[in-house]
C-alpha cells in the first residue's frame, strides 16, 4: 500500500459490475493524472457472483493505486462503504457507484469544495436523471421526506457520488442500510458544513439496476432508526421514560377518575356502572402497563448504554 500522503481516496462499492470496471478505472486514472492528484482507489466487492473480482485483480496488477476487498456474500452497500471508509487514507474521500452513471470528471470540483471552500461533506445532486419514471418518482418523494424530517436541505440523499473530509468517514459508523443517511449522521456528529453540487448523471451502460422497490420500504424504516439513534442514542430514557411516564399517568389518572365518579354517584343515589364493567377501565389499565414497560425499556437502555465502550466517545475539533 502507498505510504505517501494521499490527496484523494476513491471508494467504489460494487456488486456484479464486471463490464464497467475497466472503463471506470481508466476514467478515474485519467482524471487524477490530469490534475496531479496523489490517489488510491478502493474497490469493495460486495459478494459479486460474476467475474468482478477477477477483473479487479487484473486492475490491481495494472495500476499500483488500486486496492480491493471482497466479501464472501452480498452484505449491502453500507457494509461496503464501512470497510472502504476504514481503509481510506486520502485527505478527501470520494464515493461513487461502479456502473458508470457517476462521472469521475466531477472529482476535482468536489475536492476543491472540501479543501478550499471548507465543506465537511459535499453530496452530488443528479438534477437531470437518466432513470425510468418508476425510479425517479419514489426517489423525489423519499428525498422530500428526509429533507422535512432531518432539516438538511439536500435534493438527492441517495446520490452515490459524494465527497467527505477524511475525519468525517473516520467518525461516523455506517451499517445496515444507513448509507442513505450519512449526511444526517454527519451533522449529528458535529459536521455541519454540508454542501451540494449538481453532478452529471449518465444512463446505465451495462447491466441492470441492483435495487428494487424494497429499497423504498427499507429506506423509511432506516430513517426512523437513524433519527432515533442520533437524538436519543445516548439517553434512551429521555424517550422511553417520558413516553412511559405520560402513559402511566394518563392510565392511572383515568382509573382514579372512574373510581371517584362511581363513589360520587353512589353517594348521590344516582344510577351507576361498575368500574370493571366499563371498557374505558381496561383501556386505562393497558395504558398503565404499557407505561411501565416503556419506562423499563428506557431504564434497560440506560444500563446498556452505561456499559458501552463508546459511551464517552466524542468528536473533537482541536486539542493542544
What residues does each domain of the chain span? Answer: 8-232, 236-306
Report the range of poorest mean pLDDT among 76-80, 303-307, 315-319: 315-319
At 236 the pLDDT is: 78
Where residue 62 falls among pLDDT bands split at 50, 70, 90? very high
Average per-residue pLDDT for the chain? 85
Where residue 110 falls among pLDDT bands split at 50, 70, 90? very high
| Residue 82 pLDDT exceeds 60 | yes
Q: How many CB atoms lie within 10 A of CB 252?
A: 15
| Residue 142 pLDDT exceeds 70 | yes
Return the closest-CA partner of residue 226 out of 273, 291, 181, 179. 181
Please answer whether residues 54 and 29 qualify as being in contact, where contact means their C-beta atoms are separated by less than 8 angstroms.
Answer: no
3-state class (DSSP) for residue 5: coil
| Residue 254 pLDDT exceeds 60 | yes
At 41 the pLDDT is: 97
Span between the terminal Cα atoms of the chain, in Å: 31
8-232: which CATH number, 2.60.40.1480, 3.60.150.10, 3.90.550.10, 3.40.50.1370?
3.90.550.10
Q: Considering all CA atoms of the chain, what is the largest pairwise distance in Å, rounded to the nearest integer?
A: 97
Locate 184 and state its grid cell: 444526517
Report the range of poorest mean pLDDT among 46-50, 200-204, 259-263: 200-204
The whole-angstrom separation of Cα 53 and Cα 44 is 9
Please answer whether residues 291 and 245 qualify as being in contact, where contact means their C-beta atoms are separated by less than 8 angstroms.
Answer: yes
| Residue 260 pLDDT exceeds 80 | yes
Q: How many CB atoms lie within 10 A of CB 135?
A: 15
Where residue 88 falls among pLDDT bands split at 50, 70, 90? very high
Mean pLDDT of 152-158: 87
Locate 206 and state its grid cell: 451495462
Q: What is the pTM of this model?
A: 0.73
At 284 the pLDDT is: 93
The whole-angstrom separation of Cα 113 and Cα 199 is 13
Please answer whether residues 40 and 10 qualify as being in contact, where contact means their C-beta atoms are separated by less than 8 angstroms.
Answer: yes
| Residue 297 pLDDT exceeds 60 | yes
| Residue 217 pLDDT exceeds 70 | no
Mean pLDDT of 62-76: 94
At 314 the pLDDT is: 47
> Cα torsion for 148, 194, 172, 39, to the nearest 10°?
140
Amino acid at each position: 500500500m502507498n505510504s505517501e500522503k494521499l490527496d484523494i481516496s476513491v471508494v467504489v462499492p460494487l456488486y456484479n459490475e464486471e463490464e464497467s470496471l475497466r472503463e471506470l478505472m481508466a476514467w478515474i486514472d485519467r482524471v487524477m493524472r490530469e490534475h496531479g492528484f496523489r490517489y488510491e482507489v478502493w474497490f469493495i466487492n460486495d459478494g459479486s457472483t460474476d467475474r468482478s473480482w477477477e477483473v479487479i485483480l487484473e486492475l490491481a496488477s495494472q495500476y499500483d493505486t488500486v486496492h480491493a476487498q471482497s466479501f464472501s456474500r452480498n452484505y449491502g452497500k453500507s457494509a461496503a462503504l464501512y470497510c472502504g471508509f476504514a481503509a481510506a487514507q486520502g485527505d478527501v474521500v470520494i464515493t461513487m457507484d461502479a456502473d458508470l452513471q457517476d462521472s469521475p470528471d466531477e472529482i476535482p470540483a468536489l475536492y476543491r469544495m472540501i479543501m478550499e471552500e471548507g465543506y465537511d461533506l459535499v453530496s452530488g445532486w443528479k438534477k437531470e436523471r437518466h432513470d425510468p419514471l418508476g425510479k425517479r418518482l419514489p426517489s423525489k418523494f423519499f428525498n422530500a421526506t428526509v429533507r422535512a424530517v432531518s432539516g438538511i436541505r439536500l435534493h438527492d440523499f441517495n446520490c452515490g457520488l459524494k465527497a467527505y473530509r477524511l475525519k468525517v468517514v473516520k467518525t461516523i459508523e455506517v451499517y445496515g442500510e444507513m448509507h442513505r443517511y450519512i449526511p444526517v449522521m454527519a451533522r449529528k456528529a458535529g459536521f455541519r458544513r454540508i454542501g451540494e453540487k449538481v453532478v452529471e448523471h449518465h444512463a446505465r451502460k451495462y447491466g441492470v439496476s441492483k435495487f428494487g422497490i424494497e429499497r423504498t420500504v427499507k429506506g423509511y424504516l432506516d430513517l426512523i432508526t437513524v433519527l432515533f439513534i442520533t437524538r436519543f442514542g445516548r439517553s434512551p430514557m429521555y424517550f422511553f421514560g417520558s413516553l412511559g411516564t405520560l402513559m402511566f399517568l394518563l392510565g392511572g389518572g383515568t382509573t382514579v377518575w372512574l373510581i371517584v365518579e362511581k363513589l360520587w354517584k353512589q353517594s348521590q343515589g344516582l344510577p351507576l356502572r361498575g368500574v370493571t364493567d366499563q371498557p374505558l377501565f381496561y383501556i386505562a389499565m393497558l395504558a398503565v402497563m404499557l407505561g411501565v414497560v416503556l419506562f423499563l425499556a428506557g431504564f434497560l437502555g440506560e444500563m446498556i448504554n452505561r456499559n458501552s465502550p463508546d459511551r464517552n466517545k466524542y468528536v473533537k475539533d482541536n486539542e493542544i
